[in-house]
């Protein structure tokens, strides 16, 4: 299979890599925090956000013994893709050598949508073709682009849903043109006091428009991964639903809007705690097992829900690396078990 510095990947390679990213028992680590975001994370453990500290922390995660058993890919930030590890090996090559696919966040962030106060549209299409060509040379196998949808009074508007769906589709088409698997992420935010049904309604609308635009842009569905939100009540909603209710509503929404050709759905955690994100994924896979065969894999693409315990264990100290890696390995294993509906909260006592 093509790797760093080799020839451009074919459509068959793209399809194979997409399937590899959602292989049974595995999921994706989102380690693509921007410089500003990782600075906040490190500030929470009193560690300065220097390039060396950012490198050391991410290298800690990537070199965790046995991580490849449950982690199929890692989404990187631009800085990280270009960094070299403490042993002189590039971090992208380090991942390839462990059998983990390196990916890259390529959007330029969400900015205010003109004419629609309170709504955002993700930018970054200008010059994307040229950036993708460079990322291929640097060793990337896949890409990620995040759109954010806000629920509120009169929101989201059709204009917001349409603008973000169109941008996601154009990004995905350009990624596949470059030989890269696109992760398509239309995120309906948890912020607000909306209930489960309102989230389901908006999530369906966002997915419906996104797949319509993907079709219009001739995106190969077999060679992409969907990264959606779970269907959850807003954080300020008076009634928070059970794990089983969330699982049932989420699977129902996906069943109506996600084509069977898509190989896998890798959920974002969206601010959930580590155990909540694992429990919800587990319940969805248990439900799927009971309902019979499903056309797509239900996987994970978590950031904080894979890293929070590891970050707290590390605290910037070299003598804490082993403990931090153990915490990360545990979370990866728990989510790997949830991929098959085999997780139980009592397993949390293992670490």
The residues annotated with a catalytic role in the active site are 185, 227
CA 59 to CA 68: how far, in whole Å? 14
The token duo for 258 is: 């996600």
CA 313 to CA 169: how far, in whole Å? 39
Q: How buried is 207 (Cβ within 10 angstroms: 0-12 exposed, 13-18 middle, 19+ buried)?
A: buried
CA 64 to CA 329: how far, in whole Å? 7
CA 328 to CA 64: how far, in whole Å? 8
Q: What are phi and psi of 64, to 5 degrees?
A: -60, 125
CA 30 to CA 102: how far, in whole Å? 10
Residue 264 is inside which H or E element, if any? strand 264-267
Sign of CA dihedral 17, 78, 61, 284: negative
Q: Are 312 and 331 in contact (CB under 8 A)?
A: no
Residue 103 is inside which H or E element, if any? strand 101-105
Residue indicated by tokens 């996601």: 168
Peptide bond into 181 cis (omega under 30): no
> Hey, how many other C-beta atoms are within 10 angstroms of the C-beta on 240?
13
Q: How buried is 270 (Cβ within 10 angstroms: 0-12 exposed, 13-18 middle, 19+ buried)?
A: buried
Instruction: Specify the DSSP class assigned to residue 147.
Output: E
């Amino acid at each position: 299979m093509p790797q760093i510095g080799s020839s451009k990947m074919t459509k068959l390679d793209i399809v194979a890599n997409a399937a590899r990213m959602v292989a049974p028992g595995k999921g994706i680590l989102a380690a693509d925090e921007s410089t500003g975001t990782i600075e906040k994370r490190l500030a929470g453990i009193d560690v300065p956000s220097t390039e060396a500290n950012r490198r050391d922390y991410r290298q800690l995660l990537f070199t965790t013994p046995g991580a490849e058993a449950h982690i199929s890919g890692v989404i990187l930030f631009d800085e990280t893709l270009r960094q070299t590890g403490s042993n002189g090996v590039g971090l992208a090559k380090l991942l390839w050598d462990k059998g983990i696919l390196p990916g890259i966040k390529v959007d330029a962030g969400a900015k205010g949508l003109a004419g629609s106060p309170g709504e955002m549209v993700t930018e970054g299409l200008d010059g994307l073709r040229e950036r993708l060509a460079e990322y291929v040379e640097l060793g990337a196998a896949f890409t990620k682009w995040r759109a954010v949808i806000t629920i509120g009074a009169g929101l989201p508007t059709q204009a917001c849903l349409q603008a973000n769906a169109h941008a996601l589709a154009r990004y995905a088409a350009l990624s596949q043109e470059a030989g890269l698997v696109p992760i398509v992420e239309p995120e309906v935010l948890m912020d607000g006091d909306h209930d489960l049904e309102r989230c389901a309604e908006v999530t369906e609308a966002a997915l419906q428009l996104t797949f319509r635009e993907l079709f219009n842009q001739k995106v190969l569905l077999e060679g992409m991964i969907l990264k959606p939100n779970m269907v959850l009540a807003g954080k300020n909603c008076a009634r928070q639903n059970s794990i089983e209710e969330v699982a049932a509503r989420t699977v129902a929404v996906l069943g109506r809007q996600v084509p069977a050709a898509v190989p896998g759905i890798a959920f974002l955690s969206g601010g959930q705690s580590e155990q909540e994100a694992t429990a919800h994924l587990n319940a969805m896979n248990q439900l799927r097992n009971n309902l019979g065969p499903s056309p797509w894999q239900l996987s994970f693409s978590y950031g904080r829900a894979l890293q929070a315990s590891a970050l707290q264990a590390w605290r910037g100290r070299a003598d804490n690396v082993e403990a931090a890696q153990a915490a990360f390995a545990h979370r990866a294993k728990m989510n790997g078990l949830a991929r098959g509906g085999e997780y139980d909260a009592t397993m949390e006592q293992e670490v």
